[in-house]
Structure 1
Amino acid sequence: MTAETLANDTLSTPANDDLHQLHTVNNSGNTVTLRDSVEVALKNYFAQLDGAPVSDVYQLVLSEVEAPLLEQVMKYTRNNQTKASTMLGLNRGTLRKKLKQYGLL
């Protein structure tokens, strides 16, 4: 799976028995989970390192996922921070801090 394929994926509604897992449907019509996409991206990242030392991978992954998550939740809630914080399971103050951190506020 390429980055281009992932970029062209569309969000789909998960089956009723799996409402807690995020899915996309790629251009080939295959269902791909967010977890699968992250796994592929990390495998590619580590393959490109070619043994080079690296640190802060956790923060790298978190920032790559957290920013678009916050952006989409804010769009979904029409910028209602109370609804967004409830949806995310975050304290409203924590949400505001994260929104500022990613330049979304």
Structure 2
Amino acid sequence: MPVNAVRLPASESPKETSSQSALSECVSRTVRRYLADIGDTACDEGLHALVIREVEGPLLREVLAWHDGNQSRAAAALGINRATLRKKLAAHGLL
């Protein structure tokens, strides 16, 4: 196990996810799989930045589609203002 890795106690093993939301469970499972895949290889940009970059685009796309392209309603659902949403959409090539 890498130096900074932490093993979950048996009470928090991946099989016991009843207290986690479906989204949290999905993220946990995906991050565990990613970490297993890369092993000891360093993530140059940092894992946090990588996850945010990979998750934000699909999140914006799905919320915008859910609200039929209405940016004001999508921004409200996301808890951000419309200008911030437009900036993020442009950064992800979604405008």
Please identify runs of 4+ aligned residues in structure 1 that moved more than 3 A. Answer: none
User: Which of 14, 21, 24 is equivalent to 1:35?
Assistant: 24
In the comparison of the two structures, how many residue pairs are matched? 74
Query: How far apart, CA to CA, are the structure 2 residues paired with 1:65 and 1:97?
Result: 16
Partners of 1:50 and 1:62 in 2: how far apart?
20
CA distance in structure 2 between the partners assigned to 1:72 and 1:48 by the alignment: 27
Alignment TM-score, normalising by the size of structure 2: 0.70
Give structure 2 stretches of 5+ with no counterpart. 1-20
| CA-CA distance at 1:78 after TM superposition | 1.2
Give distance in 1, aligned partners of 2:72 and 2:89.
13
The residue aligned with 1:78 is: 68
Sequence identity, in percent? 39
Matched, 1:100 2:85: no
Q: Give the whole-Å Cα distance in 2 for the aligned partners of 1:39 and 1:80.
A: 31
Partner of 1:64: 54
**Larger % of strand: which?**
1
Structure whose alpha-carbon radius of gyration is higher: 2
Written as runs of structure 1 = structure 2, the 5 A alignment for 1:14-29 is: 21=21
Q: Over aligned residues, Cα RMSD in angstroms?
A: 1.3
Higher relative contact order (CA 8 A, sep 6+): 2
Task: Give the unaligned 5+ runs of structure 1.
Answer: 1-20, 22-32
